[in-house]
Amino acid sequence: MKYTKDHEWLRVEGDLVVVGITEHAATQLGDVVFVELPEPETQVAEGDEVCVIESVKAASDILAPVDGEIVAVNQKLVDNPALVNEDPLGEGWFFKMKVDDLSVLDDFMDEDEYQDLIG
């Protein structure tokens, strides 16, 4: 897994990148009560707002970590947004992306670097 400074995780599955938020981010947000997902087949650029999540504490945007195409979204989150809190690194994923060059992930933090970031 790779991590962003915005507390997103990125996991490669075949030629796709799966994106979610870290356990640290899920804890900071509190209980997630709503998730607005992007439409599949949407082209996004790095930094674009892709998802909106609302918790009992705040609303937050999930940004595209890299340029690419959204090819799948986690529809389970629409019916059960609490999955983000219950299993942020597994069943609580948000979307899958197709990227042109997976080597762009080399620029992101690994587990140790992310742990240093969150202290």
Spans of all domains in the chain:
2-102
CA distance 76 to 69: 20
In sequence order, what are the residues at sequence separation of 6 or more whose Cβ sits closer than 8 angstroms to the Cβ of residue 30?
55, 56, 57, 58
Residues 6+ apart with CB under 8 A from 26: 32, 84, 85, 88, 92
Each residue's pLDDT tens digit, 30-80 = 999 999 999 999 999 999 999 999 999 989 999 999 999 999 999 999 999
| Residue 12 identity | V
- pTM here? 0.94
Q: SS3 sequence, 47-82? A: CCEEEEEEECCCEEEEECCCCEEEEEECCHHHHCCC
In percent, the amount of the chain with pLDDT more than 70 equals 100
Q: Does domain 2-102 have CATH number 2.40.50.100?
A: yes
Any bridge partners for residue 103, and if so which? none
Q: Is pLDDT of 118 > 90? A: yes
Contact 61, 51 (CB under 8 A): yes
Three-class SS state of 25: helix
